[in-house]
Structure 1
Amino acid sequence: MSDVAVMSEGFRARDIGLRAQKKILSRMANKSVAKVFIDDTTASLLDNVYKLAKAYTGNKKEAEKLVKNIIKVVIKLGVLYRNGQFSAEELSHAERFKGRFHAAAMAVVSFYEVDFSYDRHYLLTALGEARAALRLLVQRHLTDKSLARVDAVFAFFANAAFLDAVFRKDSEHRELLGRIVADMNRAMDEGGM
């Protein structure tokens, strides 16, 4: 059977394989399995994000869901990238996402390390632009459920009340934020952020 005949029937083993990889890795996504796929620095960062989310919300299940959503999205992005699924235009969205996400990460580090530098508007703008670029990157590849995961993750972190509570100078979350900043600094030194 020719490639044209296979394509006209809408069946391609590669596409099925890619969907299966995304589905299997998505179902396996939890902190212990994720440690097989991610480095120690990222695992520590996710553990500390979980602790911060749990401390802020007072809800273990919500904190677990947040970290699982992060892991699932990152794994799916990795599968798509490794399989060359992104167009040139999508790769430009990836670069925009990377730039805005890096700017947000650098702002978090700065706001933690430099007294009275917290700028909620700047951080909300950077997170909003990162979210928009990420959605443009993946909208053609992920299901509505996965896109909702992206939105849920950004909604959690781009919550003004959360940001204000975390970055207050006398915040009860300051120690956890310090651990996250240390992990972020280590990840940036290793080239991971």
Structure 2
Amino acid sequence: MSVKLRCHNVTCTIAFPDEEELPANASAQSLGVRAQKKLLSKLSSKSVAKVFIDDTSGRILDNIHKIARSYTNSKKDADKLLKYIIKTIVKLGILYKNDLFTNNELKLIDDFRNRFHSLCKAVVTFYEVDFTFDRSFLVRVLKECQELTHKIIASHLTQKSHERIDYVFNFFGNLAFLEYAFDPKLDKNRAMVGQIVADMNLLINDGLL
């Protein structure tokens, strides 16, 4: 059995082999979640972003990609980082929209949101106010967010997803990267961080971050 789905001019065929044995407790919802995950695996990162991520967040990710590419001097590494971020965001979104998180997991999500909000506010402050950059604070909160994300997905996603999460948070929590991104002497970086901060402020003011 196969189903064709079309999103933003992208057509994908989601196949479920006829001989594949479904779990005894399979439901329409569980099959729907599986279909969404299969769709995700078939779309490019840019196509996924257009479907699942708003324009403001998309601009933030674009600028993160530019800084990562400049820091690593590798388009391949920057592409990998962006792909892992998008896959993680979308998989969490699929689980959330299908009400698959337990009450305890929802509490962990609220905790994550609060810590991530503090992280974003700190990034804004570090950019807007001279001599406030605190790398140790960023590293600590990133580590806390990393641990919470692992707990949130523990009973839902595979080891591969855990590895993607580690890759993303370890990249941003690298002291050398943080110092590079916030170096006031690097005008090009400061311009990109400024654009990220402007979009972060939009999301914060709209209550989305």
Q: TM-score scaled by structure 1?
A: 0.90
**Counterparts of residues 71-150 of structure 1 (less than 5 Å):** 71-150=86-165
Select 1:18's aligned residue among 33, 40, 43. Answer: 33
d(CA) in 2 for partners of 1:118 and 1:104?
12
Query: Is the 8 Å Cα contact of residues 26 and 75 (structure 1) preserved in structure 2?
Result: no
d(CA) in 1 for partners of 2:23 and 2:192?
54
Paired positions, count:
187
Consecutive unaligned residues in structure 1, runs of 5 or more: 1-6
Query: Is the 8 Å Cα contact of residues 56 and 162 (structure 1) preserved in structure 2?
Result: yes
How far is 1:8 from its partner? 8.2
Query: Is the 8 Å Cα contact of residues 139 and 173 (structure 2) preserved in structure 1?
Result: yes
State the match for 2:204 in structure 1: 188
How far is 1:90 from its partner? 0.4
How far is 1:65 from its partner? 1.1
C-alpha distance after superposition, 1:73-105 (max 9, x if no partner): 111111101111000110111011111111111
Aligned-CA RMSD value: 1.8
How far is 1:43 from its partner? 1.1
d(CA) in 1 for partners of 2:183 and 2:59?
23
Select 2:167's aligned residue among 149, 152, 159. Answer: 152
Instruction: Identify, as 1 or 2, the structure richer in helix.
Output: 1
Q: Is 181-190 or 91-100 further displaced after alignment?
A: 181-190
Give percent identity, aligned residues only. 47
Q: TM-score scaled by structure 2?
A: 0.83
State the match for 1:179 in structure 2: 195
Query: Is the 8 Å Cα contact of residues 101 and 130 (structure 1) preserved in structure 2?
Result: yes
Q: Is 142-151 or 23-32 further displaced after alignment?
A: 23-32
d(CA) in 1 for partners of 2:61 and 2:42?
18
Select 2:56's aligned residue among 34, 38, 41. Answer: 41
Instruction: Identify, as 1 or 2, the structure richer in strand.
Output: 2
